[in-house]
Chain A
Amino acid sequence: MEYLQLFFFYLVALVAIVAGFCVISCKNPINSAISLVMTFFCLAIFYVMLHAPFMAAIQIMVYAGAIMVLIIFVMMLLNQGAEVIARYRHAVIGAFVAAALMMVQIIVLIKQGAVSATVGPISSDVIETVGHTELIGQALFTDFLLPFEIASILLLVAIVGAVVLAKREV
C-alpha cells in the first residue's frame, strides 16, 4: 500500500513537472495555458493525498476555472509578439540564477534543520474523524466570522467597481 502510494505520488509529480515545463516552452500561449491547467489538476491530486479534499475542490474551481479564464483573457488583451519576449530575454537568465540560488538556499536551510514550524491542534487524524470541509465551515462561522463577513463587503465593492468601470453609460 505504501509503495503504491509512493508510486502514485511520483507519477503525478512527473506529470506536474512535465506540464510545468510545457507552460514555459510552448510556442502557442493557449497551449501553455492548457498545460497550466494540467499542473493545477496535479496539485489538486496532491491536496487529496494530503487529506485535504476541500482544498482540492477549491484548487480546481478557483485556479483551473476562474484564474485560468483570467490568464487567457489577459493573453488575448495583451497580444504581445516576439519583440516583448526579446526585450525580456536577459531577465530570463536572471530569473533562472535567482531561482537556482533560492533552491540551494532552501535545501541547505532544511538540511541544517534551521526551519521549524508549529503544529496546530488539527492533525490528519482529526481531519479524518470530523471531516475537512466541516472543520473549515466551523472555523469560518465561529473564529473567522468577521473576516468571512468582510469578504462579502469586498465582493460587493468589486461588483460595484466592475459595473462603474465597464457599463456603457453610468
Chain B
Amino acid sequence: MENLVQTAMQNVNFAAIMPSLVLACFGMVLLLINAFSRRGATAHVALISLVALLTSGYTAVMGWNNPQAGFAGHAVLDNYAIFFTIIFLIAAGLTILMSDSYLKREGYPVGEYYTLIVFSTVGAMLMASGTDLMTIFLGLEVLSVSLYVLAGFFRGQLRSNEAGLKYFLLGAFSTGFLLYGMALIYGVSGTTNLVDIGAFFAASPAAATNPVAIAGMLLMSTGFLFKIAIAPFHMWAPDVYEGSPTPITAFMSAGPKAAAFAALLRIFLVSLGSMEGTWSSMLWVLAVLTMITGNFLALNQDNLKRMLAYSSIAHAGYALVGLVAANEIGISGVLFYMLAYTFMNIGAFAVLVLVGKQGEENLTLQGFAGFGYKRPLLAVLMTICLFSLMGIPPSAGFSGKFFIFAGALDAGYVWLAILGVLNSAVSLYYYLRVMVFMYFKDPEEDFEWIQLKPGATICIVLSVIAVLYMGIVPSGVMSLARQALF
C-alpha cells in the first residue's frame, strides 16, 4: 500500500497541467460566485473569468521552451501544447468580451454561461496537452459536454433547443466512433500512450497494415473530423452554428476546432506516423471535398451566421491541407492558421453581435445594407476581418493560407494547392457580397442606430489589430509556431 502511494505521487507533476489546473480551480470558484450573486448580475463573473484566462495564460507562457511531462505519460506541457493553449484562451477571452451585452439583450444573463466557457477551455487544453488516448478522450468530452449545453443555452428559443439537441445527439454518436477507434488501436498496440503506440508501430512495421489498426485509425479520425466539421461529417455544423447564441457560434468555430486539430495532429504525427501513406491519401480527398462543400454551399446563404458557418467548414478544409502535407511548414502553417482564424472569425462574429437585434434578428444581408455609411469605422473593421477570411494580403488569413499551401507544394501536392487557391477564389463571391451590401446598398427605412457596446468593441479592435499584425509581420508568430513543433 505504501508503495502504491509512492508510485502514485512520483507520477504527479503539476507543472505539466498547470494552465488547465489553474483554470479548472477558477471555474469552480466562479460556480460559487454565481451561487452568491444577485440574479441577473453577470458583469463581475465575466470579469473574473477574464482574470482566470489571463492567469492561466501567464502560467502557460512561463512554461515556453521548458517542456514538462507528468502523470505517467498522460500529459505534457510542451511548446505545442502551450501554443494551442494560448489559442483556446484567446478564443475564450474574445468570446467572453462580446458576451455580456449580448446576454443582456437576449434576456439570459446567467453566470453559468461563463463557467461553462471556462470549463470547455479546460477540456480543450487537456486535449492539446494530453499524450494518452484516455486523457485526450476525456478532454474532448469535457469540451463537448460544455458546448452541448452552451449551444442550447437559450432555453426559450426553438432554434437554440434544436442546436443543442442536434449537437448532443450527433456528438454523442461520433464519440462512440472515436472511442471504438481508440479501443481498436489499444487492442493492436497494447497501450494507450501516444509515444508508446508510435514506438510499437515503428518496431513492427507489419502492424501498420493490420486491418484492425487501419479500422481503428479510420474510426478515430471520424470522431475528430466530426468535431472539426470536415465533409462528409459536416451536416450538423450549419444548423448548430445558426441556432446557438452568436458568441458561442464564434467560440465553437474557433476553439473546439483548434482543439480537435491539436489532438488529431499529435495522434497522427506521434503515434500513427508509420501509417502516413494510408491517412494522407484519405485526408487529401476529404480536404478537397470539404473546401468545395463549404465554399459552394456558402454561396447561396442570406443569413450571415449561416454563411459564416459554411465558410468555417471551408476553412477547416484549408487547415487540413497542412496536415496532408505533414512537413514542417505545413504543420506550423496549421498552427498559424488556427490562431489567425480565431482572430478573424471571432472579429467578424463580434460585429454580428453588435448588428443583431433581440431574438437573433437582423442577421441577414439586408440588415447590413448601408452599414458602411451609418457606422463607417465598424464597417472598416468588418471589412478587414472579411478580407482576412478571403485571404487577401496583408492580413493574417493570407499569411496562413500562404504557409499551408507552400507546405503542400513543398510536399509535392501541387493539385491540392491549386484546388485550395481556386476554392479561395470562389469564397471571394460570398464575402464580397457582404461588402456590396455594406457600401453599395441604401439602408432600410427603419434603420436603427447601432449601439457600440464596450466589450464587443474591444473584442473587434483587438481581433483586427492581431489580424493586421499577423498579416504584416507573419514571421514573429510563424517562428513561434515552428518552435512549437514536436
Q: What is A's interface to B at a CB cutoff of 8 Å? A: 109, 114-120, 138, 141-147, 150-151, 153-154, 156-158, 160-161, 163-165, 170
Chain B residues positioned under 8 Å from A141 (CB to CB): 4, 8
* B189 / chain A contacts, CB cutoff of 8 Å: 118
Docked complex Cα distance between A136 and B25 (Å): 28
A114, A141, A154: residue with the most chain B Cβ atoms closer than 10 Å: A154
Q: State A115–B155 Cα separation when bound (angstroms).
A: 49
In whole angstroms, how far apart are the Cα atoms of A154 and B75 in the complex? 17
Chief secondary structure at chain A's binding surface: helix
Binding site for A on B (CB under 8 A): 4, 7-8, 11-12, 17, 24, 28, 31, 71-72, 74-75, 108, 110, 112, 115-116, 119, 122-123, 126, 132, 134-135, 138-139, 141-142, 145-146, 148-149, 152-153, 155, 164, 187-191, 200, 207, 210-212
Q: Which residues of B contact A138 (CB under 8 A)?
A: 4
B110 and A164: CB pair below 8 A? yes
Contact yes or no, B153 A147, CB < 8 A: no
Rounded to whole angstroms, the CA-CA distance of A27 and B373 in the bound complex is 64
Partner of B116 from A118, A151, A164 at Cβ < 8 Å: A164
Q: State A4–B110 Cα separation when bound (angstroms).
A: 62
With a cutoff of 8 Å between Cβ atoms, the chain B residues found around residue A165 in the complex are 149, 152-153, 155, 164
User: Contact: B24 with A160, CB < 8 Å?
Assistant: no
Known: A141-B8, A142-B4, A146-B74. A161 touches B188 (CB 8 A): no
Do B126 and A160 touch across chains, with their CB atoms under 8 A apart?
Answer: no
> For A120, A144, A146, A170, which residue has the most chain B Cβ atoms within 10 angstroms?
A146
B112 adjacent to A119 (CB under 8 Å) = no
Q: Which 3 A-B pairs have the closest CB atoms?
A: A118-B190, A161-B149, A146-B71
Within the complex, which residue of B122, B148, B200 is in contact with A118, where a contact is CB–CB below 8 Å? B200
* Residues A147 and B212 in contact, CB atoms below 8 Å apart: no
- Complex Cα distance, B28 from A127, in Å, reads 39
Our pick among B112, B116, B132, B138 for the contact of A154 (Cβ within 8 Å) is B138
A17→B139 CA distance, assembly (Å)? 36
Residue of A nearest to B70 (CB): A146
Q: Enumerate chain B residues within 8 angstroms of A154, measured Cβ to Cβ.
A: 138, 141-142, 145
* Given A114-B210, A117-B212, A160-B31 contact (CB < 8 Å): yes
Q: How far is the CA of A156 from the CA of B187 in the complex (A)?
A: 31
* Distance, CA A143 to CA B139, complexed state (A): 17
